[in-house]
Structure 1
Amino acid sequence: MAEPMVLAALLVDAAIGWPAPLYARLGHPVGGFARVIGWCARGWNRQEWGATLRRAMGALTALVLLVLAIGGGWLLQALAGWLLGPWAWAAVALLAWPGLALRSLHDYVRPVGVGLAQGDLPAARRAVGMIVGRDTATLDAAGVARAAIESLAESFCDGVAAPLFWLVVGGLPGLWTYKAINTADSLIGHREAPWGPFGWAAARLDDVLNLLPARLGAVLLCLAGGGGWAVLWRDHGRHASPNAGWTEAAMAGALGLRLAGPVAYDGVVHDKAWIGDGRVEATAGDVARALRLYRRACVLLIVLAALWAWKGS
């Protein structure tokens, strides 16, 4: 069942993503995880508690998410098999589809390049502000372009390679476990207040779950870009994350750009290391090149899924 299910989920997501009307009516499944995380954080992340207790309550939050994701995924997969028999793979593909983000990621990044190409820097800033956490109000055109490309590179792992990897490894339970922990990491896995110790477990689990997918994603980006291997090997460790640096370095090397560098969050400038040794002045054309590279990497994933489905047939 797994082989055609994975290919079908990829194709559905590549074709339509998560349409805006569907989001307006139903939201998105990760919103359910976000609500659970918010409920746990309100009750269990007490600033007056010590670091050890807050870390333990954060670990309990992660455990709650694991139980919900694994249990819910297993139940849905089992019900599909019981009700549909040999056609269960189609239902599981539809249940897996929202966990992938091939089309959505592309559609979020593209308006940044369009705004820059039209000379509309405010529109490009608004578009990039929807996909990055850094301060965007004072970014120049090159800074906006680099931010979009960096987000595309990192999200190729978070939104595509990692969910697909865990779907292959663990079916629906694997996919939705990854999405639950990744959502927790994005919401509470920060060293800054008010999270700190409370978000430690989510951040470490996310690191573990992205360990292999980030490296596989980097290889795919270099293959799709026809190069970038030297920068990938040299610079992947310059990122604060043990995983995000892999896909970002692959993107920087393949495009001949310099990414990362100093960045501001909430008015505070963080002196991050540069990744890559190419141009700093990224342009709208570079955003378009990054999107073409991303599409080729996604096609490689679809081809691999098709070969796996053919082999299993």
Structure 2
Amino acid sequence: MKRFLIYILKILVITVLIAVVLDGLYTAVFFKSQNRGKIETVVNSKPQNYDVVILGSSRANNHFVSEMFEEKGLKTFNYGMSGGHLFEASLMLKLMIERKYQIKNIILEADLNLSNDKEADGISAKFLPYIHNSEVIKEHFEPQANFTELYYVPFYRYVKFDGKIGFREICKILMNEKTNALDNQGYYPLVKHKNGNMKNNIVNLNPLPHNKYYEEIKAICKANKINFIAVMTPMCENVKGMNYFEKVKKKYPEIYNYENVVVENKYFSSCGHMNDTGAKIFTARILKDFFNK
């Protein structure tokens, strides 16, 4: 029995050591990543200066044409992340501040995601390789239910989120394989799809009376003297429950409502996402209203 217990103990020790070594190797590779996504680009960056930084979900990523800001002489990057929530937008801004970014204006797409204060697993996982090296990331994840395992169990986060930060991603980083996430100063243009979903129902959607991460972004901007511009972006003409945007305006009167600036279906790739033509019309309006020189 004693020999058996010693054998089991050896296996456990070896397993832990392998996990620790793999954790260190994977993390080291992620710290070399520069051209695959927006998160690692910020984490591994030096201080930057921006006139305009855009934050939000795909409805930021696909709706704000960075080049149009640049044409006005405004150094701009669109850090909107498809599938992301305000949880990730807040953390991105915290990382920028931690890395000494100088930012004059933040444009936050704040509409549908005001209805939740949850993390988006597929996006938030991409911050996890750096959780032991950034106090900001650690503190942001600390209230989450699975923080203990993610932080203290070596290699657990890489196994749990293998599809996002696992072996395949490691190989792509090592092969220096680029993505298009950083093209067009972060803006991702969409085209009109024949089979795009041009119907949407948000009747049961309600904004939270106090969205924690929205309030964090506001507070960070105020503390760092950044001009904060929160906007609601357009949806197509077939949406049911468009009074959601009125609900947002009642709870958050400082958010500018632009949901009806572009409405015709021909300007949309899907009901919640404008195509490139629609995005340019929308961006022109934002520039006119906030950056008209």
What TM-score do you get using the length of structure 2 for normalisation? 0.27
Q: Which structure has more strand as a fraction of its residues?
A: 2
From the CA coordinates, give the structure whose radius of gyration is larger: 2
Q: Which structure has more helix as a fraction of its residues?
A: 1
What TM-score do you get using the length of structure 1 for normalisation? 0.26
